[in-house]
């Protein structure tokens, strides 16, 4: 498949793995890249910039194909050393960077001087237009179905993707609700030039997640996610479990972030993914879990998606022609 995405990123198929906290490690990123997509390491999964350098080297030992690194920049009382992480990835030779959250122009300028291609992930067209003005090369647009933070506008992909594709001059990657070839075909038909998948790649053999969590996601339906932190204007879509139920219940009574901080702590969520306790912490998942019914390897998943995408596009063309 050839689109502006494959040309810019040097990949065979326009399929990008989401940069997921705790999940974007070398095992998964290298498997996606080896299969023809773009694997993504998650910078802040590593405890220090030095650890990120080591993880980049480990990923290079596993693949000779392009891969990128995600850097999500969010306001915090004690923010991590974002620029040191950026320097670590650039010094290690990373030339594909996925940014999310705030996107300081100085960071973009530094990366562009070093020859980096920048994918910026956002949830609204106004943010995408701003990112385009600041010099990013690709926008990944997240519909309301997505896992993680869908923003506060609640616009689903069927509407958001074509609006973004129409508004932007740079290529668009569709994200949120995509887990198979039919979804990929739909995204391309809506004007996107590639797709981003997080939850679907979590349910693969190479994902560094306990099998109990993967099995729970396979068994779940599209109704098994919850929106938490809505009352705090920091909405997140997560898997429905005891923790997310408790958070929603606390919000219904009125609460501060400090009231629920122990429930939503990142360390607790990381432990749940590693240990397989489905009710041990927040488990991020999108509505696409309703379409997931197996745990393939990344190569099998990507080849199947591409074949099903081509078949879906052909069938749609035949229907449109009246055949």
Q: pTM of the entire structure?
A: 0.96
238-244's contacts with Cβ under 8 Å and 24+ in sequence apart are: 238/147, 238/282, 238/283, 238/284, 238/285, 239/278, 239/282, 239/283, 239/284, 239/285, 239/289, 241/278, 241/279, 241/283, 242/279, 243/268, 243/279, 243/280, 243/281, 243/282, 244/282
Judgement on whether residues 64 and 191 belong to the same structural domain of the protein: yes
For 279, the 3-state DSSP assignment is coil
Among 42-51, 72-81, 233-242, the minimum mean pLDDT is found in 72-81
Nearest to 238 by CA among 262, 213, 258, 215: 213
Judgement on whether residues 246 and 161 belong to the same structural domain of the protein: no
Judgement on whether residues 204 and 216 belong to the same structural domain of the protein: no
Judgement on whether residues 196 and 255 belong to the same structural domain of the protein: no
Residue 37 has pLDDT above 70, yes or no: yes
Judgement on whether residues 176 and 217 belong to the same structural domain of the protein: no
State the average pLDDT over residues 167-194: 98
Which pLDDT belongs to residue 179?
97
Judgement on whether residues 105 and 62 belong to the same structural domain of the protein: yes
What total of structural domains would you count in the chain? 2
- CA 254 to the chain's CA centroid: 30
Strand 225-228 and strand 236-239: the pairing is: antiparallel
Judgement on whether residues 302 and 166 belong to the same structural domain of the protein: yes
Which pLDDT belongs to residue 77?
78
Structural domain for 139, as ranges: 4-209+295-321
Which pLDDT belongs to residue 75?
77
Judgement on whether residues 192 and 250 belong to the same structural domain of the protein: no
Tokens of 186: 């739909």
State the average pLDDT over residues 45-74: 97
Where is pLDDT greater, at 232 or 74? 232
- Domain of 310: which CATH number? 3.20.20.70
Q: Are 88 and 51 in contact (CB under 8 A)?
A: no
Judgement on whether residues 195 and 219 belong to the same structural domain of the protein: no
Which pLDDT belongs to residue 323?
60
Judgement on whether residues 132 and 197 belong to the same structural domain of the protein: yes
State the average pLDDT over residues 140-166: 97
Residue 239 has pLDDT above 90, yes or no: yes
State the average pLDDT over residues 160-166: 98
User: What pLDDT, in 10s, does the model give residues 298-311?
Assistant: 999 999 999 999 99
Which pLDDT belongs to residue 285?
98
Tokens of 314: 């052909």
Number of residues that this document lists for the chain: 323
Judgement on whether residues 12 and 46 belong to the same structural domain of the protein: yes
Mean of the per-residue pLDDT values of the chain: 96
Q: Are 145 and 195 in contact (CB under 8 A)?
A: no
Judgement on whether residues 127 and 171 belong to the same structural domain of the protein: yes
Please report where in the chains the tokens 């590693």 appear, as a residue: 274
């Amino acid at each position: 498949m050839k689109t502006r995405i494959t040309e810019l990123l040097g990949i065979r198929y326009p399929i990008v793995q989401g940069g997921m906290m705790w999940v974007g490690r070398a095992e998964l990123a290298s498997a996606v890249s080896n299969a023809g997509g773009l694997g993504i390491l998650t910078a802040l999964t590593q405890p220090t910039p030095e650890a990120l350098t080591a993880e980049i080297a480990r990923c290079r030992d596993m693949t000779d194909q392009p891969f990128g690194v995600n850097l999500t920049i969010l306001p915090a009382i004690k923010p991590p050393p974002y620029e040191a992480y950026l320097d670590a990835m650039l010094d290690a030779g990373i030339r594909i960077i996925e940014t999310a959250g705030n996107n300081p122009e100085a960071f973009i300028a530094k990366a562009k001087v070093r020859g980096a291609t920048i994918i910026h992930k956002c949830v609204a067209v106004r943010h995408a237009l701003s990112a385009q003005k600041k010099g990013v090369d690709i926008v990944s647009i997240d519909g309301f179905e997505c896992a993680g933070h869908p923003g506060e506008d609640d616009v689903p992909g069927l509407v958001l993707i074509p609006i973004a594709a129409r508004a932007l001059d740079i290529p668009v990657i569709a994200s949120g609700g995509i887990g198979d070839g039919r979804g990929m075909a739909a995204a391309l038909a809506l004007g996107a030039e590639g797709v981003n998948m997080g939850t679907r790649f979590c349910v693969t053999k190479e994902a560094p997640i306990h099998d109990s969590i993967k099995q729970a996601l396979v068994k779940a339906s599209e109704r098994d996610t919850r929106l938490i932190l809505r009352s705090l204007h920091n909405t997140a879509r997560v898997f429905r479990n005891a923790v997310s139920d408790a958070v929603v219940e606390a919000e219904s009574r009125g609460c501060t972030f400090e009231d629920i901080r122990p429930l939503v702590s990142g360390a607790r969520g990381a432990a749940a993914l590693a240990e397989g306790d489905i009710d041990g912490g927040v488990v991020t998942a999108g509505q696409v879990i309703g379409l997931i019914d197996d745990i393939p390897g990344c190569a099998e998943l990507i080849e199947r998606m591409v074949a099903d995408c081509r078949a879906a596009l052909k069938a749609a063309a035949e229907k449109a022609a009246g055949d």
